[in-house]
Amino acid sequence: MPASAPATPPPGAARSAAPTDLVVFGGTGDLAMRKLLPALLLCEKDGRLAPTTRIVAVSRDGIGDADYRGKAEAAVADNPSVLRAGAVPAPVLRRFLDRLHHVPLDLDDPGDGWDRLHALLEAAPDYPAGDGAAGEAAADGAPGAPGGRGRVYYLAMPPMLFGRICADLEAHGLAGGESRVVLEKPLGRDLESAREINDAVGAVFSERRTFRIDHYLGKETVQNLLALRFANMFLEPVWNSRWIDHVQITAAETVGVGTRHGYYDRSGAMRDMVQNHLLQLLCLIAMEPPSSFDREAVRDEKVKVLQSLAPLAGDGALHNTARGQYRAGTQGGREVTGYTGEPGADGASSTETFVALEAAVANWRWAGVPFYLRTGKRMARRYSEIVVQFRDVPHPIFPGQGTAHAPNRLVIRLQPEETIRLHMLAKEPGAGELRLRPAPLELSLSDSFAVRSPDAYERLLMDVMNGDPTLFMRRDEVEAAWRWVDPIIGAWQGTDPEPYAPGGTGPRGAHDLLARSGRAWHEGEMNR
């Protein structure tokens, strides 16, 4: 079937990727079907995939290209991200499906799987003559593949297999040139295992060719945080302990663990969310201005934040953290199962499904400013946000201002909507007594820009195809995060998480954590 002409990228869209062979190990798994393929389809729709780019799924399933394309078509048809983006024209879907290939390969019994993968990748893309693809492939791509094409290996597999897959790629002559590897989180269970994985991967792929993905860093609002801080002069003078009282970072989910119990019980909320997602957001809030928006300059400043975190261990960790586990109850008008009653659960499990903690960045800018991090499942609402609360005015002059008002807050909402809102006080309209009430200044990305915001995976996949690691984690970042988290997890050993009801705001201990300093959690009024 002739390849139809690629779409023209809309104004403001991310730049197109270089011609690439994207190989997804675990290509029939949950991550590939729910996140990667829908994101790649949307890249296709926006004209950001080069005409000769191929997507190669590798899995144990003994299916051919046609069957895999059928599975992929069914997966993207009802995907929420695809549905939100609007109808996908039939020629676009056909062009996308034509890019897909499947290579059966069982790591324990590979047969001729590696040879078949090698043959496919070494062969030139099979596109009809005259579509301009051959000239493009020769002119625009990375060395190390036919026609100067880039090659990316996405390991959507358990981290324990990362080193083995990389070694096999090298043994079969597939890891040379400028080929790159993408590693999904969590990278290990602790500092020791993270180092082992990094060493094994690093024996094949240099740090420059290793991309550790955290999809939170691909969210539009997270990147807008960098623009907000470093492209607007008015915030920098007040972005310090003199003016900011505290910072809250929340990632709340309404769902439980469900069928992921086997994975989740080995990780828990601390490893699954705090060690990567929430600490990355803390870094972006607390980092010093980099010298430039350069791939290493940004990551250098993030590492400095992680290295500045005051250690939490022993009694200090127990005092400054709260952990919980959801129990059975009613949520949204229906009965839900508790964590220990989920399919495949250990009825005596002490794994936490909720974590709240108080962190301190021990440097001059942030001395005395607590950073409160919170994440949990079976919460009242699904939202992720950062709240920067400023200090109170030093001397109130308006009637009632001393007791009936809220301090200024900057609220950066990551999901479900992407919004930046600055809470201020303004005079209530009308004659008579002067009364103050909160009045937000709001920037809604969807309302302010007539461009669809790319999904996080869309942006990050384009970045890795173009070899841009700015929004990916470096080895020293990952290990610095584990170095801080490990003592907290160690302090929890032998303790049980506090039970909490579904559909609420977490265990009592999380509220006590802030209440002892006269503070309270911001409960995300934009999502009510």
Same domain, residue pair 103 and 239: no
Q: Do 225 and 175 share a structural domain?
A: no
Q: What is the pLDDT of residue 3?
A: 43
Quote the percentage of the chain above a pLDDT of 70: 89
Q: Which of 102, 261, 277, 423 is catalytic?
A: 277
Q: For the ranges 213-227, 242-256, 306-320, 395-409, which has the lowest average pLDDT?
A: 395-409
Q: What value does the mean pLDDT take over residues 378-391?
A: 95
The pLDDT assigned to 399 comes to 67
Rounded Cα gap, residues 128 and 351, in angstroms: 54
- CA-to-CA distance for 305 and 310, rounded, in angstroms? 10
Comparing 11-20, 200-209, 364-373, 473-482, the range with the smallest average pLDDT is 11-20
Note the pLDDT of residue 15. Answer: 60
Nearest to 381 by CA among 506, 513, 507: 506
pTM: 0.89
338 and 482, same domain (yes or no): yes
pLDDT beyond 70 at 403: no
Cβ(246)–Cβ(390) under 8 Å? Answer: no
Q: Are residues 157 and 72 in the same domain?
A: yes
pLDDT confidence tier of residue 127, bands split at 50, 70 and 90: low
Residues 229 and 105 in one domain: no
Say yes or no: 432 and 360 in one domain: yes
Residue 195 inside a domain? The answer is no
Residue closest to 63 by CA, chosen among 107, 109, 27, 24: 27
Domain hosting 317: range is 217-523
Domain assignment present for 6: no
Residue 205 included in any domain? no
Domain with 97 in it: what CATH number? 3.40.50.720
Contacts of 454 (CB under 8 A, 6+ apart): 13, 14, 42, 46, 218, 220
360 located within any domain: yes
Q: How many domains does the chain have?
A: 2
Same domain, 47 and 158: yes
Residue-wise pLDDT for 330-339, tens only, equals 998 999 999 9
Q: Once rounded to an integer, what is the mean pLDDT over residues 146-153?
A: 79
pLDDT of residue 95: 95
Q: Domain of 339: which CATH number? A: 3.30.360.10
State both tokens at 186.
């969590």
Contact between 498 and 325 under an 8 Å Cβ cutoff? The reply is: yes
Q: What pLDDT does residue 261 have?
A: 82
144 pLDDT higher than 50: no
Tens digits of per-residue pLDDT, 318-329? Answer: 999 999 999 999
Task: Please write the tens of the pLDDT for every residue from 358-370.
Answer: 999 999 999 999 9
Residue 190 lies in a domain: no
pLDDT tier at 143, thresholds 50, 70, 90? very low
At residue 239, φ and ψ (nearest 5 deg) are: -90, 65
Residue 277 among the catalytic residues: yes
**Which pair of structure tokens corresponds to residue 7?**
């779409």
Q: 181 - beta bridge partners?
A: 153, 210
pLDDT band at 441 (very low <50, low <70, confident <90, very high): confident
Q: Which of 135, 168, 184 is the last residue in one of the domains?
A: 184
Q: Do 28 and 167 lie in a common domain? A: yes
Same domain, residue pair 178 and 221: no
β-pairing, 334-336 vs 370-376, is unpaired
- Same domain for 163 and 118: yes
For the segment 286-312, the average pLDDT, to the nearest whole number, is 93
Query: Does residue 128 carry a pLDDT above 60?
Result: no
- Whether 528 is in a domain gets the answer no
For residue 304, being part of any structural domain is answered with yes
Same domain (yes/no): 142, 258: no
160 DSSP 8-state letter: G
Chain position carrying tokens 């809030």: 285
